[in-house]
Chains A and B, each alone.
Chain A
Amino acid sequence: MKQVYASMLWACVVAWSLAAQAEDSSATHTLAASCAACHGPNGNSLGGTPTLAALNQDYFVQRMQGFKDGSVSSTVMHHHAKGLTKEEITALASYFAQQPRQTAHALPHQSFLGAQ
């Protein structure tokens, strides 16, 4: 019996967390996608900036909170962290933690064809 309750409880927790994720997911994945300009597609940087994909969630929050309150120094990131809410930072941390690390595609460089 105990086990049945436990698994029911578990099912509820899972359903609840999926629903919660589903609710804010569109907002979060859109916001997260905005980070791609510097941190690469889906958080997989081509170099020169940290890869956010599969980054430890707590570490992400700790760094961003640090940029936000000024305890961690930065050149650019404080200008972003200060503009985000605590909830947004937490949601981004969880989103990026779930993204797979992938080798980025090579950029499709091509010689200038002279048409434009």
Chain B
Amino acid sequence: MQPDSILTSHPVSATRRQFVRSVIYGGLAFYGLPAFARASKPPLGHVVIVGAGFAGLTAAKYLRAWSMGNLKVTIIEPNPQFISCPQSNLVLGGSRTLDQLSFGYDLSRKQHGLNWVQDSVTAVDLANKQVQLTRGNLSYDRLILAPGVDFNYSKIPGMPATVADIPHAWKAGKQTLQLRQQLESMPDGGVFVMTIPTGAYRCPPGPYERACQVAHYFKQHKPRSKVLILDANADITSKKGLFLQSFNGAYQGIIEYHNNSEILQLDAASKTIKTDFETVKADVLNVIPPQLAGKVTQVAGLNNVDGRWCEVDFVTYASSLQSDVHIIGDSISAGLPKSAHMATSQAKVCAAAIIDLQTGNAPNPLPVFANTCYSFVDDQQAMHVANVYRYDPAKKSMVSAEGGGVSTKATVQEGEYAQAWAKNIWADTLT
């Protein structure tokens, strides 16, 4: 492996001032340069990004674009393609295929001149500014960790780490197809049981959206079947009123919601779960496991909030423990919903801040961004939660601005907006 040999170009003559100007006035115009402009040392240094999900890939694009190619960016990602978690619940409902949610990395890689290493980071040497891959080491000036979430099965009594026929399907891919397959094979009259963990997990409304999608499928194809939600939380954690409209409306008699239903014991062989209140046996069991920051943040020792999430400075997304390591996306502790839109917005603030830091400028002290998150209740209707967030220096956190909120009800029009959201965020991230 020799990632340095596939290095891309950058203008050698750009002075700082020229650079800043071109950032300002160049916008996102094409910033690639012909091969003859190659030089050995990028003027603004080398940023290594771990993970090409929504957060990492977006950071890579904007670091290159806003630095006019003056930063060298290397991405390390083991997967050969990008699979979108957003809309993966629709695969269970039957209105999307996984193929429609699968994308190649090539365009983004070429378009933005990214160095790409298909590998996993296994360790981080913070003192020597190096990451260890399975095939060698790589040095960085700044590191961005964007590994998404890891699962903690040890919190579930009786659940071994991997049970072949109990998928989480909480990272889109094979398990999404497996769960769909299990629903298709389940006889009519069966019970689909989904468990939801306490504490922060990726996509707060995601489980309830999934319940609606499975119920939508049952309603059409297996009308005697049931969806049972065992939620370890005291209540529905997101868009509660809106989801209740569906649970008690279109899916009355199909979806049953039980709160405070932590798993006391799970028997994987019989797919039986015991809670404080009941013992239930599932035909299809979907355990959404308790979550924590991606493994690489754990090996780097940067998951300093309850040993689960990473504390960062919301102006630069630098780890509170290590100023040259930035962490973005689902891995951070932010008190904000872990969503794709949030991950991309954090990535952009982080990219702008890194360019400022590498240029010797002060980053914008008061970042502001938006988040819109749609959930589908069937194949056509969706509803949103939308907010602007701004940095509050006194509280040292991103605080939701006044005026945000949710839809009054799920509609077909919002379903169309939700499709537009997906297309546009995919385009922003992948092109």
Complex formed: what's the CA distance from A26 to B414 in Å?
32
Cα distance, A99 to B101, chains bound together (Å): 29
Q: Which of B79, B341, B366, B427 contacts A116 (CB 8 A)?
A: B79
Contacts of B388 in A (CB 8 A): 80, 82-84
Chain B residue numbers with a CB within 8 Å of A81 are 403
Q: Are B79 and A115 in contact (CB under 8 A)?
A: yes
A79 close to B403 (CB less than 8 A): yes
B43-83 Cβ-contact flags toward A at 8 Å (1 or 0): 00000000000000000001000100000000000011101
Interface stretch of the complex, out of A3-11, A55-63, A105-113: A105-113
Scan B414-431; emit 1 where CB is below 8 A from any A CB, else 0: 101101110111111011
CA–CA, A42 to B29, complex, Å? 10
Q: How many residues of A contact B (CB 8 A)?
A: 49
User: Given known contacts A22-B20, A37-B341, is B427 in contact with A105 (CB within 8 Å)?
Assistant: yes
Q: Are A36 and B425 in contact (CB under 8 A)?
A: yes
* Alpha-carbon gap, A88 to B401, bound state (A): 13
Residues from chain A with a CB closer than 8 A to the CB of B102 are: 109-113
Q: Are B372 and A112 in contact (CB under 8 A)?
A: no
Q: Which of B66, B107, B404, B420 contacts A82 (CB 8 A)?
A: B404
Which of A21, A41, A109, A111 is in CB contact (< 8 Å) with B28? A41
How far does the alpha carbon of A108 sit from the alpha carbon of B349 in the complex, in Å?
25
Asked whether A75 and B414 contact (CB < 8 A) given A25-B24, A107-B427, A116-B173, the answer is yes
Binary interface encoding of chain A residues 76-116 relative to chain B, with 1 for a CB under 8 A from any of its CBs, else 0:
10111111100010000000001110001101111111111
Inter-chain contact A104/B427, CB cutoff 8 Å: yes
CA distance in complex: A84, B405 (Å): 14
Q: Does B248 contact A (CB under 8 A)?
A: no
Q: Which residue of A lies closest to B362 (CB)?
A: A26
What mask results when residues 17 to 28 of chain A are scored 1 for a CB within 8 Å of chain B, else 0?
000011001110
Could you say which residues of chain A place their CB within 8 Å of the CB of B66? 29
Chain B residues, CB < 8 A from A45: 420, 424
A83, A100, A108, A116: the one contacting B107 at CB < 8 Å is A108
Please determine whether A78 and B80 come into contact, CB atoms closer than 8 angstroms. Answer: no
Chain B residues in 8 Å Cβ range of A84: 368, 388, 401
Q: In the complex, which of the residues B24, B171, B344, B386 contacts A79, with contact meaning CB atoms closer than 8 Å?
A: B386
Q: Which residues of A contact B419 (CB under 8 A)?
A: 48
Determine if B103 and A37 form an interchain contact, defined as CB atoms under 8 angstroms apart.
no
> A42–B28 contact, CB under 8 A?
yes
Most chain B CB within 10 A, of A21, A68, A75, is at A75
B366 and A38: CB pair below 8 A?
no
Question: Is B356 an interface position by the 8 A CB rule?
Answer: yes
Within 8 A of A (CB), among B82-125: 83, 98-108, 111
Judging by beta carbons under 8 Å apart, are A110 and B344 in contact? no
Complex contact A47–B427 (CB within 8 A): no
B148-188 residues with Cβ-Cβ distance < 8 A to A are 171, 173-174, 177
Q: Quick one: which of B81, B100, B352, B425 contacts A37, CB cutoff 8 A?
A: B425
CB of A49 closer than 8 Å to a CB of B: yes
**Given that A34-B348, A79-B405 are known contacts, is A110 also in contact with B104, CB under 8 Å in the complex?**
yes
Collect the chain A residues with CB atoms within 8 Å of residue B403's CB: 68, 78-83
Q: How far is the CB of B81 from chain A (nearest CB, A)?
A: 6
Give the docked Cα–Cα distance between A104 and B81 (Å): 21
A84-B390 Cα distance, complex, nearest whole Å = 9
**A residues apposed to B, CB below 8 Å:** 21-22, 25-27, 29-31, 33-42, 45-49, 68, 75-76, 78-84, 88, 98-100, 104-105, 107-116
Residues of B within 8 A of A (CB): 20-21, 23-24, 27-29, 62, 66, 79-81, 83, 98-108, 111, 171, 173-174, 177, 340-341, 344-345, 348-349, 352, 356, 363-364, 366-370, 372, 384, 386-388, 390, 400-405, 407, 411, 413-414, 416-417, 419-421, 423-428, 430-431
A-B contact pairs, 24 of them (CB 8 A): A21-B24, A26-B23, A29-B27, A30-B348, A30-B349, A34-B344, A34-B370, A37-B344, A37-B424, A37-B425, A41-B424, A48-B420, A82-B401, A88-B368, A100-B27, A100-B29, A105-B427, A107-B103, A107-B423, A110-B81, A110-B102, A111-B99, A115-B173, A116-B173
Excluding A36-B425, A40-B427, A99-B28, 9 further A-B contacts by CB distance (< 8 Å) are A26-B356, A31-B368, A34-B348, A35-B370, A45-B424, A47-B423, A48-B424, A79-B384, A114-B174
